[in-house]
Every structure is written in structure tokens, then in C-alpha cells.
Amino acid sequence: DLRDGNQALVEPMVVEEKVEMFNLLVKLGFKEIEVGFPAASQIEYDFLRTLVDRKLIPDDVEVQVLVQCREHLIKRTFEALKGIKKAIVHIYNSTSTLQRDVVFHKDMDEIKDIAIVGTKMVQRYAAECDTKIRLEYSPESFTGTELDFALDICTAVQETWGATKENPIIINLPSTVEMNTPNVYADQIEWMNTHFKNRESIILSVHPHNDRGEGVASTELALLAGADRVEGTLFGNGERTGNVDILTVAYNMFSQGINPELNIENVREIAEVYERCTKMQIPPRHPYAGKLVFTAFSGSHQDAISKGMAYREEKNCEYWTVPYLPIDPKDVGRTYDSDVIRINSQSGRGGVSYVLKNSFGLILPDKMKEEVGYLMKSVSDHRHAELSPEDMRDVFKETYLDVEKKFDVSECHFKQKDGIGAEVTIVVDGRENVVDSHGNGRLNAVNHAIKKYFDLDYALDVYEEHALSKRSDSQAISYVGIKPAGQEKLYWGIGTDDDIIKSSIDALVNAVNRYMEAK
């Protein structure tokens, strides 16, 4: 991020932004951090000196610096390293057929000589400094280099440096340009891995780019083919299409039960620092970090996720078992309420019910869910916009609670005799009318009074209620669905009150008013 990612920015980071990024990488747990190209510009040099002067490099972290195989650049690089306990010096030169012919106009022996001479220069300067130096060599444009020549030049550097098992060299094989499919890159890595001499003296590193959009796949196959180490950037920043996204590689490992040994539990915090320092935006569909990657708008997806969540709660599952979500979003610092299910015109009853329950404690009757789902879809479609949980709550209340009333019930007096007797005061156009009725319960008695007064023929088909929270002083919410004679459609109303009886009567009154309005 501090070299490949920084050089690819429209506005390269200033020193303090680089310091913040470095501190983030340390916090995440990276133990080898390439801090830049200190011989390339003054700000690169000053940044490394700032890390030294402020004592920001932990003892267990190796900084890595990049330098071309030129003596004045190597000298300047070692000047920047003064006071650092250990560091990786990364040298490189281009080795591909195309670069040899078009850029350098040199044959294989001349290209190999550049690498050998560069290695000897690093060796000489390393012997004269107090920093413990580890050498890294990259045959840049490896994917366009003949394999036998890549092996020859890497072996020459390995032998010149005198690499041993105790003091290994890093051989880094970059897909500087992703020229082929990931399996071919993995074949190249495997071939090199099996043909190196003294393999134990080599740390085999890969540095994939993403020109074909396959950087992560290339990395994972390269690891399976024998690579020991990966160079990448957070969220895949870098030249052209970028370097491999090292966080995606890590999260992919995590999803398969492999501990990447990085502190990446809060991907949004990482993203916030990254976006502020680089002034780059993470796309909403970016794996793991994108704002929408755990979000389902589709009705069928939402229904499956909602059922998966309920199943986990019911069964107390040890492993993650939710359809359409490869990992638990909470494991990477995401939330269920705002990240998992969001409502628009593509959504369905399962998603709508899930959001209303998780955001506001509304547990809809099963028979009500489909109507409410279509209601929210219709509103979203009409507005051409996503509905927030607050939008949904307001639509729900306007439709089923704050209904326009042709009548209301202002007062009820109950007597217990052969069931429940009731005097129900029905208010129409401001006039109070007392109706006597009887039923097997209070709500049933009020229902009979309403039907009698208005000469209505319907059945009280659904009545459910619950507390809106677990507190003892919680309000009750009631749901009532009535079915007119000869119809299959249910007309719904809700009521809320401290008193469960008042709540249920209000729900019934709202349901009947909605029916009368439609009638």
C-alpha cells in the first residue's frame, strides 16, 4: 500500500497519511511491510526516516524497501535504512522476452548480469551497515519470461547472495501483467518450486496483479502450488487494475476455517482509514468490505436468510448455517440490521418481516406477511427508492394503525355472566351510540357489537398480540385480521396500548374501518 498502492494514486499520500497507513498495517498484524522506494523521491526518503525518528517500527516488523539495480540508488537506499534493526532490500529487473527486446535491447546474459551485479552491490553495502538485511529478488514481468531463464537468473542471484536455510533469500515471482489464467500462473509457480536448487534456502513469494480480474484466484492457486508468501495491498489498490487484494485472500482463508493470523475483525474500520488516506472509494460490491456484499434485496434470498437466522436461533447451531451468506457478517464487524436485508421493489415478505421484527420488535402474523411484503414493494416501486427501516415503520403505521376512521369505540363496560356481556360505545360522526352485546371474550363481545350496529357479515379470522419489548412496562401490540363473508381477502388492523384489551379493540376497529372504506 505504501509503494505499489501509493504510486498508483492520483494524489500520492503525504507523510502523515503514510504514517497513518503504516500504523494501520502494523495494527492489522502484518510483519513485513514494503514502505516505499526511498531512493526514488524525497518524500519516500523522508517517510522512512520519519518511521525511524518516531520509533514507529516494532521489533517484530521488517520494513521492506524497493530499489533498482543501480549503485547510486542502492547507496541512497542504505542511507535511508540507518537506525533500523532489520529490513528487506528488494531488487528487481525486467526479464521478459518483450522487455528484453523492446525496452532494454539486451540478451539473456546481459539481463542476468544486471541482477548479479545488483546483488553484489547490496551485499557490499549490507556488510557495511548495522541493519540486518534480507535480500528479495524479483524477475519483473515473470509471467512473460521463459521458465528456464527465470530459473537461471533466480538461481544466479540465490548463489551470489549465498542463501542458506538459516539465512534464506526471498525469490518473488510477480505476475506483473496478468497474462494468462490462474491455473497457468500456478503451473509456472509449481514448476519453479520443484526446480529450484536448495529449496529450503528460498522463501517463494508471489506478487499477483489483477489485469484479468483473477488476482485472488491466481494467488490462491499459487499458494496451493507451493508459494510461501504473498505481496498484496488492502482492497487491491495498485497500478492499472491493481495488486491482489490481500484482505480478500485473508477473508477467504478465514471463511474456510484457516486462521490468517491478522486482526481483520472490523473491515469497515479498515476501509475507513484506507479511503481517508488514499482518497479512493471501495466499490459497494467489493468482497467483504463493500457496503452491499452481505445485503439481499431479492425476496427469495431474504426469505432464505430470514429462515436461516431463525433456524440458528432455534437450534443453537455451532457452525454458520445461513443461506446466501458465506460467513457471519458479525465476524468482520458488519451488522445484521443495516447490512444483511434491505428493502426495495425486489423484496419479499420474508425480508420485510425480518426487518420489522429486528428493527422494531414487530412479529407479524404469518397470514399478514404477504400483504405487508407487497405493500412495501409497492411503496418502494412508487418512490423509485429503497425503504429504510424507519420508512417501513412509518408506512406500516399509516396503513394499519393511523387509519381514517368512519367510526371508533370510545368506551366499553364488561360484565361476566354466561360468557362476557358488554356495553360498547360506538362513535359515528361525533355521536355516541351504546350497543349491548355478548361474546365468549371481551374482544369477541366488542366484535359482535360492531357487526350488529353496522349490519356487517365477516369473521374475526386472526388475532395475535405480543409485547413490544421484554420490559415489564412495555406496550402491547395487537394484530387483527377479519375476513368478509364470501371473500378470501383479510383486512388487517393493528393497535398499541399499555392495556392489552384496549390494544386488541383498537386493532379490531382499525381492521373494520379499512374493510368499510374498501367496501
Average pLDDT over residues 462-477: 84
Cβ-in-10-Å burial (0-12, 13-18, 19+) of 29 comes to middle
Q: Could you tell me whether strands 476-484 and 169-175 are parallel, antiparallel, or unpaired per DSSP bridges?
A: unpaired
Nearest to 206 by CA among 267, 149, 139, 262: 139
* Distance (Å, whole) CA 381 – CA 401: 22
Q: Which residues pair with 459 in a beta bridge?
A: 483
- Reported as a single tens digit per residue, the pLDDT across 66-104 is 999 999 999 999 999 999 999 999 999 999 999 999 998
- The pLDDT of residue 473 is 66
pLDDT in tens, 196-248: 999 999 999 999 999 999 999 999 999 999 999 999 999 999 999 999 999 99
Round to whole Å and give the CA distance between 192 and 199: 10
Cell (9 digits) for 327: 460467513
Helix (H, G, I), strand (E, B) or coil at 229: strand
Average of per-residue pLDDT across 496-510:
95
Confirm if 468 and 375 have CB atoms less than 8 A apart. no
Three-class SS of 133-199: EEEEEEEECHHHCCHHHHHHHHHHHHHHHCCCCCCCEEEEEEECCCCCCHHHHHHHHHHHHHHCCCH
Q: How far is it, in rounded angstroms, from Cα 390 to Cα 287?
A: 28
Contact 38, 9 (CB under 8 A): no
Residue 519: what pLDDT? Answer: 85
Amino acid code (one letter) for 145: T
Q: Is the pLDDT of residue 150 over 90?
A: yes
What pLDDT, in 10s, does the model give residues 278-323? 999 999 999 999 999 998 888 788 889 888 988 998 999 988 989 9
Please state, in angstroms and rounded to a whole number, the distance separating the CA atoms of residues 171 and 139. Answer: 8
Sign of CA dihedral 390, 395, 396, 402: positive
**Of 198, 192, 36, 203, whose CA–CA distance to 134 is shortest?**
203
Edge-to-edge strands of the sheet including 229-230?
Answer: 32-36, 62-68, 86-94, 132-140, 169-175, 202-208, 229-230
Would you state the pLDDT for residue 275?
97
| pLDDT of amino acid 418 | 80
Please name which of 294, 298, 314 lies closest in space to residue 350, comparing C-alpha atoms: 298
